[in-house]
């Protein structure tokens, strides 16, 4: 949820409508500095708004509830008995190491403590925290040695011995070396960093002109798959995300697993057993090191405000964390410079050196905004601060909502006694709930007004410059031999260098993520002098030009990429429109028409149908598919197959054979048959799915690569060696371009290939 909850948005809209016309005009024309001042005045006169916001925060409690631990454990036991091990693991992970630490610190009986320590060592060993596990085992040995009744601990001694053997094996065979962006390190990639742009390849140059702003251009020819940018996010905030339901029914605590339960809140690594924050129930980390670093950098301030940050949305949270990471001194310096005009803001250290011949042609002596005094564009707070907030182009209502939210957050910082922590003068000694303050409407200090102004700038910047960090997340039960993964939004981040890439609906790059790092690769050959372009979401393969243009309005530009120009100038129907069209219920020819009534394109048939009626049938079909997938989730595969086959027959009477939903149903059927171990049937349906995906997205698209990866898994499990090897080769060729040779999927493909290649020659010849 990027923006505040709907109720707060509604209150802000009603408050805006009730303002005096003169005040609305002043707010519309206000600078960021004046907007903060006027926002303070509005909230000071409307104390009921702050009270309403406090009530909304009660719906997202983040305080500790000790009694929840036993309840989550019971729910985990229930899931375990049902055979849903992934769900059980997620519930157990909510409490495991935290329970042990609490037991140790609250006088757990000495006679039972060895059992607890054994379990702790097992957890740490599974997490790969070898040194921590070793420390626990030493303590355990000491406690057992001090206890005279050694027979009491005979079983534990045996378990201790087994754990020490495992620990020794892991230390002798450490994890494979990891590359900078997460994959297992194979052949080192040739990479020469740009001397003028941090994190960028030397094959890029930075240009600037009035039409395109700052942008990246290829300074030499590049091949598909070549890395162009490797950048660590300046700031990232985990999105709570959609819940993965574990068990239905209303309960005292939420049994649904969200991103907040599955990933580290600092580095975004996937969690097995989390290290929780000691002050709130929300923040969780992959290690004590991540927890400590987060606390020192920002969480000591955010911790008491967890419910408020969840209520105000991810954009406000990113804005707060940005100023905390930058530090008040740097924030204050740049805010002050912004008050002296655009020229000083763009070039605070004097004339920025042109970075290339392209920059000379585009920006001339003006240079490129955001560079330092040496003409280098750094992935820094200064570069982030220079990203355009588009203050004049946001709607007045949206700007007012953002202003109220930022001011309310800063007022709560002041009321909770956290101002000193924000200004880096001192830090709170421990987590606690925000202090109550009788005068919650008191005037903000000048320093917090500066912070509020910077935060407002960042919230407005995020509409055009927020980068979604995505991750391939398992869908469905997650316990089968073939794992269905789809990209989901994991976090929202600022990447100053990545933000230099302009949009195209037919981009020439692909972006992948590993934790908080982004890697941009050439998705196709790029010629010297060609602009390097990224897709902001609306892709020509997925949406018609009108739909793309509508979605791109939020970025305050009109896309004139080749795909848009071709569709707009030709006036012809896009490929997306044709392939995702309705077909005649009688003769299966394409239905056409722009009005409410569609007519069959076959003149001999001339059947007509209501667009609304066909759209209603499509929605009903999608609901039936969801029900079939739910049947699969609860282990009723046979019923799921019957329902999906019925959906397929129904779809064939009114959808084009090339409709994407037809491909999705083939994919779902392949998943169900794979769950039953019917590999040939699964492969047959997945091949049909791949045909449709290739029609829509192209044979070299990442979507085709993911489908081929699943087909390779099915063929591998079905022992179809020859076809599996050829499919693996195709999948590798595509996925290495988009994700690099070190990605997790590439590693799995290589492992399957190695396994198949080692089979005896006579078996390979038979298959």
Q: Distance between CA atoms of 323 and 623, rounded to whole angstroms? A: 44
Phi, psi dihedrals of residue 490, rounded to the nearest 5°: -100, -40
**What rounded mean pLDDT belongs to the chain?**
79
The position carrying tokens 């001011």 is 407
Structure tokens that stand for 272 in this block: 């097995």
SS (H, E, C) 706-764: HHHHHHHHHHHHCCCHHHHHHHHHHHHHHHHHHHCCCCHHHHHHHHHHHHHHCCCHHHH
Name the 3-class secondary structure at 291.
helix
Helix (H), strand (E) at residue 135: helix 130-146
The pLDDT of residue 146: 61
pLDDT of 426-463, one tens digit each?
Answer: 444 444 444 433 444 478 999 999 999 999 999 999 99
The answer, yes or no, to whether residue 179 has pLDDT greater than 50, is: no
**CATH architecture of the domain with range 677-767:** Alpha Horseshoe (1.25)
At 650 the pLDDT is 93
Confirm if 521 and 740 have CB atoms less than 8 A apart. Answer: yes
134 contact partners, CB below 8 Å, separation of at least 6: 167
Arithmetic mean of pLDDT, 399-407: 96
Segment 501-560, tens digit of pLDDT: 999 999 999 999 999 999 999 999 999 999 999 998 888 888 888 888 988 898 888 899
Q: Cα(750)–Cα(352) distance, rounded to whole angstroms?
A: 47
Closest CA to 6 of 49, 56, 47: 56
Mind listing the pLDDT tens digit for each residue in 133-178?
Answer: 677 677 766 666 666 544 444 455 555 555 555 555 554 444 433 3
Tell me what pLDDT residue 479 has. Answer: 47
Q: Is the pTM of this model over 0.85?
A: no
* Sign, CA torsion 58/64/65/69: positive
Residues in the chain: 767
Check pLDDT > 90 for residue 15: yes
**For residues 303-330, average pLDDT:** 95
What DSSP state is assigned to residue 531? B
Q: Span 225-247, mean pLDDT?
A: 79
Region of poorest pLDDT, from 3-12, 124-133, 412-421, 486-495: 124-133
Cα(468)–Cα(54) distance, integer angstroms: 29
**Using one digit for the tens of pLDDT, what is the confidence trace for 553-594?**
988 888 999 989 888 887 655 555 556 678 888 887 888 877
Q: What angle do CA 345, 348, 353 make, to 5 degrees?
A: 110
Lowest average pLDDT, out of 132-146, 222-236, 449-463, 749-763, goes to 132-146
Residue closest to 418 by CA, chosen among 286, 309, 311, 266: 309
Query: Distance between CA 205 and CA 507 in Å, rounded?
Result: 18
pLDDT score, position 14? 94
| CA 415 to chain CA centroid, nearest Å | 32
Beta strands in 401-481 (DSSP E): 467-474
State pLDDT tens for residues 77-116: 666 666 665 566 555 555 555 555 555 555 556 666 666 6
- Other residues' Cβ atoms within 10 Å of the Cβ of residue 127: 18
pLDDT score for 112 = 60
| Helix-, strand-, coil-residue percentages of the chain, each rounded to 5 | 55, 10, 35
Residue 199's SS3 state is: coil
What separation in angstroms does the CA of 22 have from each of 16, 26, 43, 397, 695? 12, 6, 17, 15, 56
Whether the predicted pLDDT of 383 surpasses 60 = yes
H or E element in which residue 213 lies: strand 213-218
Q: What would the DSSP string read from start to end of 397-461?
A: HHHHHHHHHHHHHHHHHHHTT-HHHHTTS---SS--PPPP-S-TTPPPPHHHHHHHHHHHHHHHH
Q: Which residue has the tokens 């409690």?
A: 61
């Amino acid at each position: 949820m990027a923006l505040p909850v709907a109720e707060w948005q509604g209150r802000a809209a009603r408050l805006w409508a009730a303002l005096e016309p003169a005040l609305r005009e002043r707010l519309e024309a206000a600078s960021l500095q004046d907007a903060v001042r006027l926002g303070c005045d509005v909230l000071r006169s409307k104390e009921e708004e702050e009270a309403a916001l406090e009530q909304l925060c009660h719906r997202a409690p983040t305080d500790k509830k000790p009694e929840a631990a036993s309840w989550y454990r019971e729910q985990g036991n229930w899931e375990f008995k049902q055979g849903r091990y992934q769900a059980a693991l997620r519930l157990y992970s909510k409490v495991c190491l935290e329970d042990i630490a609490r037991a140790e610190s609250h006088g757990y009986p000495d006679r039972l403590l060895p059992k607890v320590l054994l379990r702790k060592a097992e957890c740490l060993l599974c997490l790969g925290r070898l040194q921590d596990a070793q420390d626990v085992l030493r303590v355990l040995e000491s406690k057992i040695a001090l206890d005279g009744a050694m027979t009491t601990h005979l079983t534990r001694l045996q378990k201790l011995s087994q754990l020490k053997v495992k620990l020794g094996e892991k230390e002798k065979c450490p994890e494979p070396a990891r590359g900078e962006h997460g994959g297992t390190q194979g052949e080192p990639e040739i990479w020469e960093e740009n001397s003028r742009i941090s994190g960028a390849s030397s094959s890029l140059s930075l240009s600037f002109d009035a039409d395109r702003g700052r942008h990246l251009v290829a300074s030499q020819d590049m091949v598909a798959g070549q890395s162009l940018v490797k950048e660590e996010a300046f700031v990232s905030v985990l999105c709570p995300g959609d819940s993965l339901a574990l068990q239905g029914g209303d309960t005292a605590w939420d049994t649904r697993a969200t991103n907040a339960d599955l990933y580290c809140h600092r580095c975004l690594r996937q969690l097995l057993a989390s290290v929780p924050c000691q002050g709130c129930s929300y923040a969780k980390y992959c290690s004590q090191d991540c927890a400590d670093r987060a606390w020192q950098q920002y969480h000591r301030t955010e911790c008491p405000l967890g419910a408020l940050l969840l209520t105000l949305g991810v954009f406000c949270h990113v804005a707060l964390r940005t100023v905390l990471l930058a530090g008040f001194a740097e924030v204050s310096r740049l805010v002050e410079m912004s008050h002296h005009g655009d020229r000083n803001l763009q070039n605070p250290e004097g004339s920025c050196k042109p970075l290339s011949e392209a920059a000379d042609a585009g920006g001339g002596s003006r240079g490129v905004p955001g560079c330092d005094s040496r003409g280098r564009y750094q992935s820094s707070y200064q570069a982030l601060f220079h990203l355009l907030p588009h203050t004049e182009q946001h709607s007045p209502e949206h700007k007012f909502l953002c202003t109220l939210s930022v001011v309310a957050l800063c007022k709560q910082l002041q009321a909770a006694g956290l101002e000193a922590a924000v200004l880096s003068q001192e830090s709170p000694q421990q987590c606690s709930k925000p202090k109550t303050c009788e005068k919650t409407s008191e005037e903000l200090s000048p320093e917090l007004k500066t912070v509020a102004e910077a935060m407002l700038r960042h919230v407005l910047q995020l509409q055009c410059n927020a980068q979604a960090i995505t991750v391939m997340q398992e869908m469905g039960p997650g316990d089968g031999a073939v794992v269905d993964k789809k990209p989901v939004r994991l976090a929202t981040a600022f990447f100053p260098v990545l933000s230099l890439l302009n949009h195209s609906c037919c981009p020439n790059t692909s972006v992948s993520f590993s934790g908080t790092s982004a890697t941009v690769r050439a998705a196709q050959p790029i010629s010297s002098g060609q602009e390097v372009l990224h897709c902001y979401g609306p892709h020509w393969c997925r949406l018609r030009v009108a739909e793309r243009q509508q979605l791109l309005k939020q970025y305050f530009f009109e896309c004139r990429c080749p795909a848009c120009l071709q569709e707009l100038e030709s006036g012809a129907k896009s490929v997306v429109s044709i392939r995702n069209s309705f077909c005649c219920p009688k003769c299966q020819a394409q239905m056409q028409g722009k009005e409410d009534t569609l007519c069959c394109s076959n003149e001999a048939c001339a059947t007509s149908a209501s667009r609304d009626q066909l759209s209603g049938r499509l929605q009903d079909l999608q609901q039936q598919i969801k029900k079939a997938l739910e049947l699969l989730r609860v282990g009723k595969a046979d019923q799921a197959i019957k329902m999906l086959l019925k959906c397929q027959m129904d779809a064939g009477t009114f959808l084009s054979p090339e409709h994407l939903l037809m491909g999705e149903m083939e994919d779902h059927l392949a998943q169900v048959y794979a769950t039953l171990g019917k590999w040939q049937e699964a492969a047959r349906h997945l091949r049909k799915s791949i045909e449709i995906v290739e029609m829509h997205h192209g044979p070299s698209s990442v979507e085709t690569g993911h489908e081929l990866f699943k087909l390779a898994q099915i063929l591998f499990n079905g022992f179809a060696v020859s076809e599996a090897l050829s499919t693996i080769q195709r999948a590798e060729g595509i996925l290495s371009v988009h994700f690099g040779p070190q990605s997790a999927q590439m590693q799995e493909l290589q492992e399957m290939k190695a396994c198949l290649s080692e089979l005896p020659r006579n078996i390979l010849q038979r298959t």
